[in-house]
Structure 1
Amino acid sequence: MCGEGHSFLASVDLHSHEARATLAWAESVTLVSQTGVPDDVFEELGRHFSDQEIVDLTVIVASMNAWNRMEISFRQGPARRAEG
């Protein structure tokens, strides 16, 4: 999300269907408690990527989300790391 109620996808001009599907998937996985990963997002991703590629993409998104949650929880933003 770019900001309160503003979808990242709405703010980006993407030319490739694969890129749009990838970003929609990443946003849905990131916001899973809100979106539940809609069927249409999953189906669109499947039109462009193999099952293994979807697994790989999901692991990457989940890993980044986990790292971000730890950084936020431990108050370790970029400025804090630079100071330490």
Structure 2
Amino acid sequence: MTTETARHAHGPRMHWAKLAPEVFKAMSALDAAARQGLDPVLVELVKIRASQVNHCAFCIDMHIKDARKAGESEERIYLLNAWEEATGFYTDREQAALALTESITLLTDGFVPDAVYDRAAAHFEDAELSQLIALITTINAWNRFGVTTRMAPGRV
């Protein structure tokens, strides 16, 4: 194992935000714009769930902390990975947002099914749904930076 490989096994591959500061700045602006008009707790639930699906430990850690600051309960945070089985803990609106989050994040069939989209559209006005789609898209981009560069939880 080379020194470079050993470093990768225990830390980030690179500090992309420092190496591409204009991209980081643009991503931060997109993130701020995407969350406008959305409930802060819902924002964090969506970000945690997408990050769980994408296996982005850095983002999971960050957004769990942010969810707590926004007033989210420990119980709902713990159950988020199995939200479909714990439906009594999440509102219909939150469940619709989480279903859309998973569908956009996975795109397993190459598209977001009409039933998933329609479910979300039943709970969100068009402008709000547009914001939600932007939020989900943005956290997926953040996750891809984090996973690709192996950003470590608890570090900036």
The two structures have a TM-score, normalised by structure 2, of 0.43
> Which consecutive unaligned segments of at least 5 residues does structure 1 have?
2-6
Give matches, 1:1-84, under 5 Å. Answer: 1=53, 8-13=82-87, 14-32=89-107, 34-35=108-109, 36-78=111-153, 81=155
Q: How many residues end up aligned between the 2 structures? A: 76
The alignment-based identity, stated in percent, is: 32
Instruction: Select the structure of larger CA radius of gyration.
Output: 2
Counterpart contact for 1:9–1:20, Cα < 8 Å: yes
> Which consecutive unaligned segments of at least 5 residues does structure 2 have?
1-52, 54-80
Partner of 1:78: helix, strand, or coil? coil
Q: CA RMSD in A?
A: 2.2
Distance 1:8 1:66 in 2: 23
How far the C-alpha of 1:12 sits from its partner, in A, is 2.9
Find the counterpart in structure 2 of residue 4 from structure 1: none
Structure number with higher relative contact order (C-alpha < 8 Å, ≥ 6 residues apart): 2
Runs of 4+ in 1 over 2 A off after TM superposition: 7-15
Please give the per-residue CA displacement for 1:12-67, whole angstroms capped at 9, x wherever unaligned.
334421111111011111111x0421110111111111111111001111111111
